[in-house]
């Protein structure tokens, strides 16, 4: 097992990614929206993984910033979907709760490396 696989932030990012993928699999969105959201959610996980493989704090921090930025990208898609009434409010709220918690954790990681 790699060290990052036991991290709480990694597990929460994986959970977020799985929930986004389930949501996408249950709905029919245009290709660009689905592709963008799917890639952004996966990017949250992958940047946490890759950042943990880096040796300097500066380099690790850069990947954690990218992870958080990808999370924000997901939120932008959620907001668009809710505005165009393509997403139920309950699902929006549940995904936003996961995103907010994950954002706080990643933010703390970034600040601790400053």
Whether residue 2 is contained in a domain is answered as no
Angle, helices 8-25/31-52, rounded to nearest 10 degrees? 170
Q: How many CB atoms neighbour CB 41 within 10 A?
A: 26
62 is in which domain, residue-wise? 7-112
* 89 within domain boundaries: yes
Distance, in Å, from the CA atom of 10 to the CA atom of 26, rounded to the nearest integer, reads 24
Mean pLDDT score across all residues of the chain:
98
Supply the CATH number for residue 78's domain. Answer: 1.20.1440.60
**pLDDT tier, 54 (very low <50, low <70, confident <90, very high otherwise):** very high
Domain count, the chain: 1
What pLDDT was estimated at residue 6? 98
Q: What does DSSP assign to residue 87?
A: S
Q: Are 89 and 82 in contact (CB under 8 A)?
A: yes
Q: Is there a contact between 19 and 78 (Cβ–Cβ < 8 Å)? A: no
Q: Which DSSP string do the residues of 35-67 spell out, in sequence order?
A: HHHHHHHHHHHHHHHHHHT-SSHHHHHHHHHHH
Backbone angles phi, psi at 29, to 5 degrees: -110, 165
Tens-place pLDDT, residues 63-88: 999 999 999 999 999 999 999 999 99
8-51 pLDDT, tens digit each: 999 999 999 999 999 999 999 999 999 999 999 999 999 999 99
For residue 29, is it within any domain?
yes
In a domain, 65, yes or no: yes
Is residue 1 in a domain? no
pLDDT in the model for residue 39: 99
């Amino acid at each position: 097992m790699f060290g990052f696989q036991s991290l709480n932030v990694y597990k929460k990012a994986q959970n977020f990614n799985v929930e986004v993928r389930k949501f996408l699999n249950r709905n029919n969105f245009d290709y660009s929206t689905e592709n963008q959201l799917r890639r952004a959610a996966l990017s949250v996980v992958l940047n946490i993984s890759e950042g943990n493989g880096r040796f300097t704090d500066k380099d690790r921090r850069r990947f954690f910033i990218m992870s958080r930025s990808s999370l924000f990208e997901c939120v932008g898609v959620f907001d668009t979907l809710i505005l165009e009434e393509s997403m139920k409010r309950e699902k929006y709220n549940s995904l936003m709760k996961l995103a907010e918690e994950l954002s706080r954790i990643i933010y703390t990681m970034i600040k601790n490396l400053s």
